[in-house]
Amino acid sequence: MKHKCLYQSFLFPACLLSAIPAFAQGNTTEGQVTLQSNTTATGNGQTATAHNAAQPSRRESLNLTEKQTAFLNHLLDRAGDDGLIGEKKDAGAHHLSGDSLIAASLDYARAIHSGRLSSNDFDKNWGMKPDFYDPWPDFKNAINNNSLGEWAANLAPPYSGYAGLKNGLIYYRLIAEKGGWPIIPVGADLTVGSEGVRVKTLRKRLAIEDKELEDTGSSHFDASLKAAVRRAQQRYGLNPSGVVSGQTVEALNQSVKFRIHQIMANMERWRWLPRNLPENRIQVNVAAAVLTLFEKNQPVMSMKSVTGRPGNETPMLRSTIYSLVINPPWNVPDSIAKKELWPKEKAHPGYLQSAGFKIIGENGQGQRLQQKPGPRNSLGQLKFDFANNYSVYLHDTPGRGAFSRFSRLESHGCIRLEHPVALGERLLSADPAWTGDRLRSEIDKNETERVRLKQPVAVFLFYWTAFGNGENALSFRNDPYKWDELLAQKIETIAQSVQGQSNNN
């Protein structure tokens, strides 16, 4: 049985509760996705390199009964409900048998358990790859023990977030079958008191997703419509002002097919997660720019973050934080130095020295920049290291302005934190040597110090742009990196290829 996550709203600042992706019960934070497993969490947080693309070794034949054959064909017919194919109309009824049915069932099992993609299909920034999975042993046992129903029920990711997207996919496909929703014409801002055809269209558009709003056909912008606008803005991660401006119109005018592709892409990403998650972990939703700390599978701290701008994408990955660095120096990546800092020095001689940078190495190849610790250091007062191939990490920042904005994709790829000292104190709380205000005292010394964590913590960088419990309209975020459409297209292309092979058999 899948767990339903119960969040306690008092754990989080009110500003993070404006967009609540509720999964089943209770509350969570803006852009956050629940990772509650139905198994004991024992993950080690290390990056997985194996993938599920390898074909299982078939050493024996299986004889399917008539009932088992019917069950498996029905299972394949429902693959669209898990976003394993695109439009439902693309999936014809299956009438396979024997080895063809077994091969198709094994492909389905691999796809729903660990995703459609092979290793070569992953973008270079998609470092969250699934562990190897061979469906053959469990499938064979299910056939021999006549337990296909139990086998099939345990294939999908065991998370309420995945189940919510599955329900949402069915919900939004029904909207698509009914013709989708109307396009709101671009124009002046709409607010309480506005009148006209655009208001009437707005009401009709919102009522399709919002069960609390009745489409009365009225062309008057009243208080009930404002409340519905605010609910929609919260779902789409916008400022819930109740005023319909350009951003709100743009979000509402995205096609239902686009939203379906977002759901499919996010369902696929759930399949890349390990089945056993560490109960103590840090999660960052890159798309929503929110960090949440979990202890014993419960959220205990949440904060805004700043993540990579398009072109400097923050990757998806999993790793482990073993230490933090107090008053870290910043070893400037060559790409940033060449594109930004050296040109500033050329335009304003003396800039580098005034900003605390020193040049390491001789002129020419190998020369690099390092910014000394201090109030102007780009990493701020704390840095949280974790092994990865992308040279990204969590860190403080002297620039606080971005945290007041709803869109916070402004970094070079690393994750800037709203409350890094509070996070550091929490991670060090298991060590008796770091009680009270010691961390702040060490920071005040302005000396660089690396501190090992007594209890290392897993860290997951996710890219969630669709989430919810599926009982109502889902919440969506922008797809700043254009990864949703790319991933959905890959899923459909692979699915069509597999479907063609099944038909040929």
Long-range pairs, 91-96, Cβ under 8 A, ≥24 = 91/499, 94/502, 96/69, 96/72, 96/502, 96/505
Does residue 369 surpass a pLDDT of 60? yes
104 contacts: CB under 8 Å, gap ≥ 6: 72, 76, 94, 96, 498, 502
Closest CA to 469 of 15, 5, 156, 155: 5
The whole-chain average pLDDT of the chain stands at 84
Lowest-pLDDT range of 115-129, 179-193, 267-281, 355-369: 355-369
Judged against a pLDDT cut of 60, whether residue 255 lies above it is answered with: yes
Decide if pLDDT at 220 tops 90.
yes
High-pLDDT (> 90) share of the chain, %: 65
Q: Among 249-258, 324-333, 489-498, which range has the highest average pLDDT?
A: 249-258
The confidence band for 500, taking pLDDT boundaries of 50, 70 and 90, is low
Q: Which pLDDT score, from 0 to 100, does residue 51 have?
A: 41
Q: Which residue has the tokens 């017919």?
A: 77
pLDDT at 94 exceeding the cut of 90 = no
Taking only the tens place, the pLDDT of each residue in 459-482 is 999 999 999 865 668 999 999 999
For residue 325, the surrounding DSSP H or E stretch is strand 317-326
Higher local confidence (pLDDT), 288 or 363: 288
Characterize 478-501 residue by residue with b for buried, 16 or more Cβ atoms within 10 angstroms of its Cβ, and e for exposed. Answer: bbbbebbebbbebbbebbeebbee
pLDDT at 295: 96
**Residue-wise pLDDT tens digits, 392-420:** 999 999 889 999 988 899 898 999 999 99
Beta strand pairing call for 466-467 and 475-476: antiparallel
Residue 372, pLDDT above cutoff 90? no
Query: Residue 311: its pLDDT value, please?
Result: 93
pLDDT at 89: 47
In tens, the pLDDT along 116-156 reads 898 889 999 999 999 999 999 999 999 999 999 999 999 99
